[in-house]
Amino acid sequence: MARNSRPQQRRIDPSKTPVKGAVREPVKQSSKQKIAETPTYQKKAAPSGTKRKGGRPGGRSPVPVVQRATAMDWIAGARIRTLALSIAPVALGTAAARVASGFEDWHWVRALLCLAVALGLQIGVNFANDYSDGIRGTDNHRIGPSRLTGSGAAKPRTVLTVALFFFVVAAAAGVIVVVRSEQYWLLAVGAACILAAWFYTGGKHPYGYYGLGELFVFIFFGVVATAGTTFVQAGTVNLESWLGGVAAGFLACAVLMANNLRDLDQDRVAGKRTLSVLVGERVSRILFVTFILAPFVVLYVFVFVQIYENAYLVYFALLLAVPAAIIVATAKTPREFLLALKLASLTALVFGVGLAAAIAF
């Protein structure tokens, strides 16, 4: 007979088969047997009471839950504390218009429309800044008040929609002013204001990232806002309006400088080249002190040259400006710069409304 060609099957001893994930432990044998050359493996139980990392299967960390923006978050996003920068130039421009018209005409409707334009532009640029910095990742390095987009509390598209809504409000109020004043060339000025508001931090090359923020703020939140308010009410721009615009512009620069000083280190990390980043911390502190005290030099003209008898009372605003200057000169923490920002905004409000009252009445 032919020998069977099938190979013989070897029997496997289960005690000598390694188990996946087990710990090597030799098995004791009887005294008549030798120690097995290949020890068996037994699974080692996990210590009781041991939890995996993250408290979830596989040790994954829990996903953080971001709370959606509330009504107060949206109000904070408008940055109410800085809206004095819109009120001051409109008040000064309206007072100058009263002087230009011989204290006879009082275009209060146009004054309110100018205020709507200024507030709409400023709130719009605040939300546009929130949106643009958020999608760029600039606000990922913030240590100050959180932003709607950067914190994830609101969708970027929603923040953008709110910004555009306020731009539309400003544009609508501006069109009404132009129609009532019949100065249609001002439509170009209004368009320039909206473009300046958007490209502050929006677009591919925002000028706020190239150290030009203070310059544009001085022009549009100072001179243009004040002179424009005067022109649509009186049809001309007088010395009071130009000087008031310069003073308002300096105060707007002071507020922006305090903000940029607070975010100096974070802006450097994010690659946002504000004026503070470009010139350094020491020069920025000097510039802030200059910006916030310069309006009181302009005030000298109203007190001693133009001779407005109550204008000297505006010097009481130094009670706010001087502490702000001292704080910025000595500040070491972002919270101190934030306090200086609030004082600078309040200085702008008191100075602008106070001087306007001294001029108009």
Residue 298, classed as helix, strand or coil, is: helix
Whether residue 201 is predicted with pLDDT greater than 70 in this model: the reply is yes
d(CA 290, CA 173): 34
What amino acid is encoded at 67 in this protein? Q
Q: Is residue 57 part of a domain?
A: no
The neighbouring-strand residues paired with 259 are: none
Structure-block tokens of residue 354: 């106070």
pTM: 0.80
Q: Is residue 62 part of a domain?
A: no
Share of the chain above pLDDT 70, in %: 80
Nearest to 212 by CA among 275, 259, 270, 254: 275
Q: Is residue 270 part of a domain?
A: yes
d(CA 162, CA 16): 72
Q: Is residue 285 part of a domain?
A: yes
Residues 6+ apart with CB under 8 A from 361: 310
Q: Is residue 136 part of a domain?
A: yes
d(CA 264, CA 125): 20
How large is the angle between the packed helices 239-262 and 84-100, nearest 10 degrees? Answer: 170
Find the domain containing 115 and state its range: 71-360
Where residue 36 falls among pLDDT bands split at 50, 70, 90?
very low
Whether residue 4 is predicted with pLDDT greater than 60 in this model: the reply is no
Secondary structure (DSSP) of 204-262: SS-GGGBT-HHHHHHIIIIIIHHHHHHHHHHSS--HHHHHHHHHHHHHHHHHHHHHHHH
Whether residue 44 is predicted with pLDDT greater than 60 in this model: the reply is no
Q: Is residue 42 part of a domain?
A: no
What amino acid is encoded at 117 in this protein? V
> For the chain, what is the domain count?
1
Q: Is residue 348 part of a domain?
A: yes
pLDDT digits (tens, 9 = 90+) for 69-122: 888 989 989 999 899 999 999 999 999 999 998 887 788 999 999 999 999 999
Nearest to 296 by CA among 320, 327, 261, 329: 320
Q: Is residue 129 part of a domain?
A: yes
